[in-house]
Amino acid sequence: MNRLPCFALLAYFLPDVASYKILVYNSRYGHSHSNFLGNIADILVETGHDVTSLIPIIDPRVNDVTEKSKKIFIQRSDEVESILSGLSSIRANFFKTSIFDPIGVYKHRTMFTLHFVAQCRAVLNETTVIERLRNEKFDVMIVENFDMCGVALSHLLQPRSLITSGAGYPFAHMLEEFGLPLALSYNPSSFTTHLDVHSMWSRMRNIYANWLMHFHFYPRRQLIEELFRERFGSDFPSLEEISSHAAYTLTNSEPLIDYAAPTLNRVLSIPGIGAKQPKALNEHWNAILAQRPKTILISFGSVAKSVDLPPTVKQSITAVIGRFPEITFIWKIQRRLFRMSNCQRGRLRMICSMTIESRRIFVPIFGDQPRNSGMMEHNGLGKVLDKFDLEYPDKVEAVIREVLTDRKYAEKSRQVSAMLAKKPFTSREILIKTVEFAAEFGPSAALRPQSYDMNIVVYHNLDIFACATVFFVLLAYAAVRSVTRIMTSLIMRQWESSGKSKTA
């Protein structure tokens, strides 16, 4: 009996999938950002594509996450190292400063900009690497619109398709680069935790918050543009212009736990991309969790660490813990407690938590955390506690007791968890199909909104309103003049008539 070789059988049954060349620009500066892009790279490798990750190292403490793609590292420059050394004191002040303080934002915005620009300069100095990447003729280049060096670099490398992205919900200039309306009357800015659409004051505060976001992130974009124009000529396009021609935009946003906001067909959500099932706990942690019927985990993330909390806040939290003898508290001070795969990074942690029927209290510290926390409370999935209330034990205790005793939080968590489990398309499927489609067909002009080609006057129809205002003012003026003339004429006639009657 003749038998086909094993490899022939595999070739017969496997689908004919084209392998595309993909470049992922993955700066190492923030855990959530590297986690988002690193997982994208590995998933595309698993699908059979040839993926290269270009990794400028801004913060060496951050892992690039990708384990399967080919890596090209750009070591951080001495300039970047010098700048980052001055940021440690600023990070320790996250718990004390208000994000609505314009003076504080002004002080921080330059510090949080210069290291991106300095490392971008280091990337451009690697002319051999850039030329090699240009010669690769990538089908797709994936960048994130946070470190804008990758967006500008895409114009030099000229991939067939550019895919922009955001490791969370887009904010400030990112919305404009993606072609999305701000919709500030009902879409909270990243600095906004609560927005009452029926309150004029609340909407004004949201506009101010959005202005602060623009004010904070504008220098980064301006200096990157200036850097590229110094190197490649004054006609180098703006970052918004480059982004406008992207084939697609990928965001790490879950619509089911977000605010409803305007979007485009080419902006696709791939929430929790790369999230894996948490590993089973060892005997040590199982024994700890078994001591009491309930357990509360306290963690402030990987940037604003608990170790940096002001002493008054540490004392307050300690006092609150003593008021709940029936509950086990696990407080993450600096190191990771549970090896929950990669569900411990930024917004991914929030999305992953929805697969567990747990109650949540959110303490927004900086960045986009106010909006992320607010959207969870808005959807009934937790309670927001102001960071400035942490030093008051009674306020902290009240929030904990509310979340523990009000069943609506647990019920809503179960409902949303079930909905997420039964979504018709997974983030992995959307990612793979979108990237392959962009690689095969390139960007479509039909998906590029004309708003990119409109200035603020035309976009908001201010010219039409101005013309209409002038028209109605002139019309009113003409009407008043006409009425005045008619009334004057009538009065004159009556006066003349009255005079003739007296003469007679």
Residues 6+ apart with CB under 8 A from 389: 395, 396
The predicted structure's pLDDT at residue 25: 98
Q: Residue 159 is encoded by which pair of tokens?
A: 């991939």
Q: Which two tokens stand for residue 68?
A: 């399967």
Question: What pLDDT, on a 0 to 100 scale, did the predictor assign at position 221?
Answer: 93
Token digits of residue 407:
């069943």
Separation of alpha carbons 419 and 256, rounded Å:
8
Q: How far apart are CA 441 and CA 439, in angstroms?
A: 6
DSSP H or E run through 477: helix 462-503
Name residue 23's beta-bridge partners: 52, 141
Q: What helix, strand, coil percent values describe the chain, rounded to 5?
A: 55, 10, 35
Q: Alpha-carbon distance 457 to 465, whole Å?
A: 10
CA 419 from chain centre, in angstroms, equals 23
Least Cα distance to 405 among 327, 331, 305 occurs for: 327
| 290: number of Cβ within 10 Å | 10
Residue 482's Cα: distance from chain center in Å? 58
For residue 82, the model assigns a pLDDT of 86
H/E stretch holding 129 reads: helix 127-136
Question: What is Dmax (Cα atoms) for the chain?
Answer: 137
Strand partners, 283: none
DSSP letters spanning 197-257: TT-HHHHHHHHHHHHHHHHHHHHHHHHHHHHHHHHH-TTPPPHHHHHHT-SEEEE---GGG
DSSP letter assigned to residue 76 = P
Q: How far apart are CA 144 and CA 239, in angstroms?
A: 12
φ, ψ dihedrals at 71, nearest 5°: -115, 135
Mind spelling out the 3-state secondary structure of 384-446? ECCHHHCCCHHHHHHHHHHHHHCHHHHHHHHHHHHHHHCCCCCHHHHHHHHHHHHHHHCCCHH
Any idea what the Cα angle at residue 139 is, between residues 157 and 39, rounded to 5°? 95
Query: Tens digit of pLDDT per residue, the chain (504 long)?
Result: 444 444 444 444 444 557 999 999 999 998 889 999 999 999 999 999 999 999 999 999 899 999 999 999 999 999 998 888 766 666 656 777 888 888 878 877 877 889 999 999 999 999 999 999 999 999 999 999 999 999 999 999 999 999 999 998 998 899 999 999 999 999 999 999 999 999 999 999 999 999 999 998 889 999 999 999 999 999 999 999 999 999 999 999 999 999 999 999 999 999 988 777 677 888 998 899 899 999 999 988 766 777 788 889 999 999 999 999 999 999 887 665 544 444 544 555 555 555 555 789 999 988 889 999 999 999 999 999 999 999 999 999 999 999 999 999 989 989 998 998 899 999 999 999 999 999 999 999 999 999 999 998 999 899 999 999 999 999 999 999 999 988 888 888 777 677 655 555
3-state secondary structure of 12: helix
pLDDT at 50: 97
User: What's the pLDDT score for residue 8?
Assistant: 43
Per-residue confidence (pLDDT) for residue 257, from 0 to 100: 92
Q: How far is CA 42 from its chain centroid?
A: 21
Strand partners, 469: none
What pLDDT, on the 0 to 100 scale, is given for residue 442?
Answer: 96
Tally of residues, the chain: 504
E strands present in 47-194: 50-56, 70-74, 140-142, 161-166
- Provide φ and ψ at 101, rounded to 5°: -85, 110
d(CA 79, CA 491): 85
Can you say how many angstroms the Cα of residue 463 is from the centroid of all Cα atoms in its chain?
32
How far is it, in rounded angstroms, from Cα 172 to Cα 346?
19
- Burial class (CB within 10 angstroms; exposed 0-12, middle 13-18, buried 19+) of 278: middle
24 touches 43 (CB < 8 A):
no
Please measure the distance between the N-terminal and C-terminal CA atoms of the chain and give it in whole angstroms.
Answer: 137
Per residue in 23-66, pLDDT tens? 999 999 988 899 999 999 999 999 999 999 999 999 998 999 99
